[in-house]
Amino acid sequence: MLETQWQRYLYWRFVALGTATLMAWNVYIVSSEFFRYEFRNTPLKDNFESVFSMLSNSVYLAALSYTLYTQPKANHDRRIRVGLQATLAAFCAILLLPACGIDGWAALVVALLALSIAAVATAYIQCSIYGIVALLPPCCAEGFMSGQAVAGTVISAAQLLAIYTSPNADNNATAAMDLDNDGNSVYQRRLRLRTAAYFCMSVLFMALSATAWVQLNACLGLKQQGNEDEENEQTIYEHQALSTGTAEGTHNVNMLITDVCEESPRLRAALVEQNGSPTSSLYMGSRRGQNRQNTHILTESTDRSATNDAAIVEHTYYANPTSNSNSTSPAETPQWLAALGLDNVQVVYSTFREISPYAFICAIAMTQTLAVFPPLTEAIVSSPASKPQIGNLTAWHFLLFNMGDYLGRLSTQWIKCEASVQPASSCLSAPRVLCLVNGARWVLAAAFLLFPTNANITPFIPAVIHSDVLYLFLVFVLGWSNGWVATTALITGPQAATNKELAGSILGYALCIGLFLGAVVSYPVILVSGIS
């Protein structure tokens, strides 16, 4: 739950950032009708969606691999800012298509280039934020994951609304034949105006997301200086000393900083470089002294809890690392890796070993989902024997999956599976519970093979379930379990790692690997179901 106003402040800004990371792809999906019209004179007029998907996923995976490898020395603030700005530029480029009436090969080149830029930018943003939220309260990771689900839910709702409000195909054909006063097709003009509105709203949202990150980075790193009021601003030392006494307060602060540095090798290196010791007088200096430029990194209002302060200390350095931030693993890099220029491999591998169960859980959860959704689930048709029959079943199934995915991510605030509750050997440990849920999801995924589909050949498994309501319910459960398992693993996994920041980024990479594997597994699933 969001216990403090500060956590609510963080939560909603991470929701905005999560939505921004998937905004580009979702806007491409909702604008498919426009792209089909723009590419009508190119070879990709009928299969551009597959090309978009392959290009986006391959570029994203390659960029994410690079960002993960270089993550131990990364400047997260720069990566996120540049990523948001690049995505904003990509949207502006796409906006030129409906605004300037560009079509054909020129439109295709602009669209593919903008999609590639957005994929690279998303990889940079996600890798950094996955690492940052691993150091903050769990609500931040849940907010970022929920924001991604919000993007899908909004787009699915928009598609369903368009189905019920747009004219039918005959009216579209008539509009395509009608000409306005300038001799242009009425259908073309409406389509371009609608698409331009989509991308204009996306540009505004990306600008808002960039503002949200600037606020987050500023507030997590420092509090605005210049206010000399003792009631509104004081250092951690003052906050502890006022409540427990000067000597004990000093000890508490030093213990707090020591604990944080044990979990954050990069932060420890920076503090040693700057002050000689992680618990130097930097944390006990006067607010009015000559070292104000240093004490500001631990300044916060008196209503902040010690837990939140620890998170702020960690994030301050992670967003703006120094040159000594490569000391993240007690193990030295083997000489043969160093000779190949792969110094970071040992660091990444050491952290991966600590959280490998959670990485596999994330990858398996995404594989299960993408294996059946949407290749198999969207091919399921309403059965004449179903009571009741539901129209526009495919559109409804997209909406219910995304709603379930969002609620699953949101429910991690109440349905928790924390690593600290049981030892790793216990049958109730977090990895075991998540593996049990993933095991049940295999059965759930297989159940979709029992529904009728628009198969072109006789399926290996005959349809035995004829209920639209049950089908939509199972789709909702698939989405809910996907969101809950992935978010729980992302929140719980870094607790088992020494380098929590890198652990969060590795788990984010595992999610991407799961998406790729799911796309591969979907081909035999389609073959078994008889779908061409």
> In angstroms, how far apart are the furthest CA atoms of the chain?
84
Q: Which DSSP category does 388 fall into?
A: S
Contact of 88 with 207, CB cutoff 8 Å:
yes
State the 10-residue block means of pLDDT for the chain, 532 residues long.
77 90 76 81 77 84 92 87 90 83 85 91 93 90 93 85 67 48 62 79 84 84 39 42 46 52 55 49 35 34 40 42 40 57 77 94 95 90 90 91 96 79 55 94 95 82 91 97 96 92 94 90 88 72
If we measure between CA atoms, which residue out of 470, 487, 504 comes closest to residue 408? 487
pLDDT of 227 = 36
Q: What CATH fold (topology level) applies to the domain 331-532?
A: Growth Hormone; Chain: A; (1.20.1250)
pLDDT of 450 = 94
Distance CA(106)–CA(110), nearest Å, equals 6
Helices marked H in 222-334 = 236-244, 246-263, 265-275, 292-295, 306-318
Distance CA(320)–CA(13), nearest Å, equals 19
- Token pair belonging to 380: 């399921």
Distance CA(142)–CA(411), nearest Å, equals 9
Contact of 483 with 407, CB cutoff 8 Å:
yes
One-letter amino acid identity for 248?
E
pLDDT of 301 = 34
If we measure between CA atoms, which residue out of 62, 68, 61, 63 comes closest to residue 351? 68
- Whether the domain at 1-223 and the domain at 331-532 fall into the same CATH topology: yes
Q: How many CB atoms lie within 10 A of CB 305?
A: 15
pLDDT of 31 = 77
> What Rg value do the Cα atoms of the chain yield, rounded?
26
pLDDT of 368 = 95
> Tokens 């700057």 label which residue?
274
Which residue ranges make up each domain of the chain? 1-223, 234-300, 331-532
Q: How many CB atoms lie within 10 A of CB 256?
A: 20
pLDDT of 420 = 47
- Token pair belonging to 406: 């969002």
Q: How many CB atoms lie within 10 A of CB 352?
A: 17
- Token pair belonging to 346: 């040992």
Helices marked H in 101-137 = 104-133
* CA 415 remoteness from chain centre: 20
Label residue 483 exposed, middle or buried (CB < 10 Å: 0-12, 13-18, 19+): buried
Backbone angles phi, psi at 35, to 5 degrees: -65, -35
**Residue 447: C-alpha distances to residues 199, 441, 465 (Å):** 38, 10, 9
Q: What CATH fold (topology level) applies to the domain 1-223?
A: Growth Hormone; Chain: A; (1.20.1250)
pLDDT of 531 = 81
